[in-house]
A and B are shown apart, each in its own frame.
Chain A
């Protein structure tokens, strides 16, 4: 079965703190894709990053970084020096070749206070 677990329902931090959002996935497929999406208060989901199962390199984009570890089936997302504009719900998602569904986690709501 395919499953994505985001155990943190809500996280609250103060601006400039670093914060890590956890994502654990389950799949029996050897080829799959992992995604992070951001849903700001305006409501529209925005794509942040994709990783395929054969590429375990970590990625950094500005204040955002992602840590993909197949050994622990995790794809964690870290925001460095958080800002109020980072306040949103963040979704981790999984898709796989041969299937058309994308399985979304329940989301983590991040509050960044000034």
Chain B
């Protein structure tokens, strides 16, 4: 079946502009994660969605970052007034299971969106 898809694959924007990144999880996966990966570095957790529960936003670095997800479908990550330090690859992942069980399930990752802020 189809894996996790993300769009766009690349995004170049000017400092101060808003950008919107999209993630389509695997059908049936109730959990969805966003991560940021700066060049040559590890994964930085941003936000977690589980079904219709309130998302865990504890990883969002500033109020310029926000994300939405409708039910168990598509998610969008929005970065307002982009800064050069926002340049990174933004990865989306989805997994089965809900609640406490989410931590057990492996995550399936998308190819990422490479964001460059000039």
Using a CB–CB cutoff of 8 Å, the interface residues on chain A facing chain B are: 32-33, 35, 37, 42-47, 50, 52, 91, 95-107
Q: Inside 8 A of B50's CB, which chain A residues have their CB?
A: 100
In the complex, A42 Cα to B110 Cα: how many Å?
11
28 A-B pairs whose Cβ atoms sit less than 8 Å apart in the complex: A33-B103, A33-B104, A35-B106, A42-B111, A43-B89, A43-B111, A43-B112, A44-B111, A45-B91, A45-B107, A45-B109, A47-B106, A47-B108, A50-B104, A52-B104, A91-B42, A95-B104, A96-B103, A97-B103, A97-B104, A100-B31, A100-B50, A100-B56, A101-B56, A102-B103, A103-B45, A106-B42, A107-B41
B4 to chain A, nearest CB (A): 9
Contact status B42-A105, CB under 8 Å: yes
- Annotate B39-56 by CB proximity to A: 1 below 8 A, 0 otherwise: 001110100101000001
Contact status A102-B111, CB under 8 Å: no
A96 and chain B: residue at smallest CB distance = B103
Which residues, 53 to 74 on B, are CB-close (under 8 Å) to A?
56, 58-59
A101 and chain B: residue at smallest CB distance = B45
Contact status A50-B109, CB under 8 Å: no
Q: Inside 8 A of B103's CB, which chain A residues have their CB?
A: 32-33, 95-100, 102
B24 to chain A, nearest CB (A): 14
Q: Inside 8 A of A97's CB, which chain B residues have their CB?
A: 100, 103-104
| Among B42, B48, B109, contact of A101 (Cβ-Cβ < 8 Å) | B48
- Annotate B77-118 by CB proximity to A: 1 below 8 A, 0 otherwise: 000000000000101010000001011101111111000000
Known contacts A101-B56, A101-B58; 19 further A-B pairs (Cβ under 8 A): A33-B104, A35-B106, A43-B112, A44-B112, A45-B109, A50-B104, A50-B106, A52-B104, A91-B42, A96-B103, A98-B103, A100-B31, A100-B48, A100-B56, A102-B45, A102-B103, A103-B45, A104-B35, A104-B43
Contact status B100-A98, CB under 8 Å: yes
Residue among A91, A99, A101, A102 with max Cβ neighbours from chain B (10 Å): A102
Contact A102-B107, Cβ < 8 Å, known A43-B112, A97-B100, A107-B42 = yes
| Among B43, B91, B102, contact of A100 (Cβ-Cβ < 8 Å) | B102
